[in-house]
């Protein structure tokens, strides 16, 4: 039977035990601006994980993101980065203000990309899951290959 949207037919597929959605990769397929923001956060968490296995506090992550945006010279919303000799659209804090960090972190936790736990002072701390770290390392390698091609 042919279904208009295919939902009825597709709903039995998960019961077959076949692979389906890979939620940990969801940050890669978000709309363009959001995907750039998710990748910035995941990239920053992965770099921090290489330095420390204790995770990073919410405040620490914000500082790391601010520093990274300053180094990149562009906003995390998919717009073109600032070219040499041009001025960014505002200080790094203003560009970070365009990033809904808490809601992005909530989604990353929900997708199994990051884990969150209360830190010593009750503030949230974050770290990538092992699967997300492995996936993002692969994403970096793929991106590096495209840059050279």
What is the model's pTM? 0.73
CA-nearest of 32, 61, 41, 55 to 107 is 41
Q: Give CA separation, 53 vs 14, 86, 94, 107, 129, in Å.
A: 35, 38, 30, 22, 11
Q: CB 114: neighbour CB atoms within 10 A?
A: 25
| Interatomic CA distance for residues 35 and 15, integer angstroms | 30
Asked if 149 contacts 138 with a C-beta cutoff of 8 angstroms, the reply is: no
Segment holding 109, helix H or strand E: helix 101-110
pLDDT value at position 94? 52
Query: Residue 142 has which token pair?
Result: 């793929």
Per-residue confidence in pLDDT tens, the chain, 149 aa: 444 444 555 566 666 666 667 899 999 999 988 999 999 999 999 999 999 888 999 999 999 999 998 887 654 444 445 444 445 554 444 566 678 999 999 999 999 999 999 998 899 999 999 999 999 999 999 987 665 54
Length of the chain, in residues: 149
pLDDT value at position 117? 96
CA dihedral (32, 64, 106, 93) positive or negative: negative
């Amino acid at each position: 039977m042919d279904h208009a949207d295919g939902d009825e037919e597709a709903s039995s597929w998960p019961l077959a035990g076949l692979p389906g959605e890979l939620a940990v990769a969801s940050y890669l397929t978000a709309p363009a601006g959001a995907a750039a923001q998710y990748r910035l956060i995941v990239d920053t968490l992965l770099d921090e994980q290489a330095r420390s296995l204790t995770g990073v506090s919410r405040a620490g992550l914000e500082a790391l993101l601010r520093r990274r945006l300053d180094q990149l010279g562009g906003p995390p919303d998919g717009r073109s980065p600032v070219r040499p000799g041009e001025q960014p659209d505002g200080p790094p804090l203003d560009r970070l203000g365009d990033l809904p960090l808490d809601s992005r972190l909530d989604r990353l936790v929900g997708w199994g990309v990051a884990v969150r736990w209360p830190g010593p002072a009750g503030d949230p701390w974050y770290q990538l899951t092992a699967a997300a770290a492995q996936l993002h390392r692969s994403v970096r390698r793929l991106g590096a290959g495209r840059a050279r091609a």
